[in-house]
Amino acid sequence: MKLVRKLASRRQRDKLGLFVCEGEDLVEAGRAAGLEPVDVLVAGETVSPELLAGVSALPHPARQIAVFRQEDLPRFDPQAAPEVGLALWRVGDPGNLGTIVRAVPRESAEASNLFAARFLNYEFVKTDS
């Protein structure tokens, strides 16, 4: 719990080389991608739901929160990159993201997926084109 609270600070995330994923889907996606969690908190099993809700940044607290190492994330390989890509940072309105994704022609976005997660203060939305 202390570690998750500490990682709410970008400075601490950078210093410790860790990040937090909230929600069962994101924790499972991290594991499926080969990431090994440093710590996993599960409501009702490893921690009370009330305590987990206290550290959650989501409007509706997640039932699972996991901490992963930044160094375990896959590295960008320019040779494997699609011709067309889309990178978004701090999109404030989810409606704007939907408009952007729909505006990308399907044929040019065949290899690009927009992966989404919520890492404490930052939101990304997962969609497949």
CATH code, 31 = 3.30.1330.30
Q: Model confidence over 4-37: pLDDT tens digits?
A: 999 989 999 999 999 999 989 889 989 988 999 9
Positive/negative CA dihedral, 120, 57, 15, 33: negative
Q: What is the pLDDT of residue 85?
A: 64
Q: Model confidence over 88-97: pLDDT tens digits?
A: 676 666 667 6
Contact 20, 69 (CB under 8 A): no
Q: How confident is the model at residue 106 (pLDDT cuts 50, 70, 90)?
A: low
Number of domains in the chain: 2
Same domain, 31 and 86: no
C-alpha span between 59 and 79 (Å, rounded)? 39
Amino acid found at 80: A
Does position 129 have pLDDT exceeding 60, yes or no?
no
Residue span of the structural domain in which 18 resides: 2-71
Q: How confident is the model at residue 73 (pLDDT cuts 50, 70, 90)?
A: confident
Instruction: Using a cut of 0.85, tell me whether the model's pTM lies above it.
Output: no
Does position 86 have pLDDT exceeding 60, yes or no?
yes
Residue 55 in domain: yes
Same domain, 100 and 63: no
Same domain, 67 and 87: no
Q: Average model confidence (pLDDT) for the chain? A: 77
Q: What is the pLDDT of residue 111?
A: 36
Residue 57 in domain: yes
Residue 33 in domain: yes
Q: Model confidence over 40-49: pLDDT tens digits?
A: 999 999 999 9
**DSSP states along 34-69:** TPPPSEEEEBTTTB-HHHHHHH--SSS--SEEEEEE
- What is the number of alpha carbons within 13 Å of residue 60 lying toward its C-beta? 2
Residue 76 in domain: no
Same domain, 9 and 58: yes
The tokens describing 108, both together, are 């040019």
C-alpha span between 82 and 1 (Å, rounded)? 39
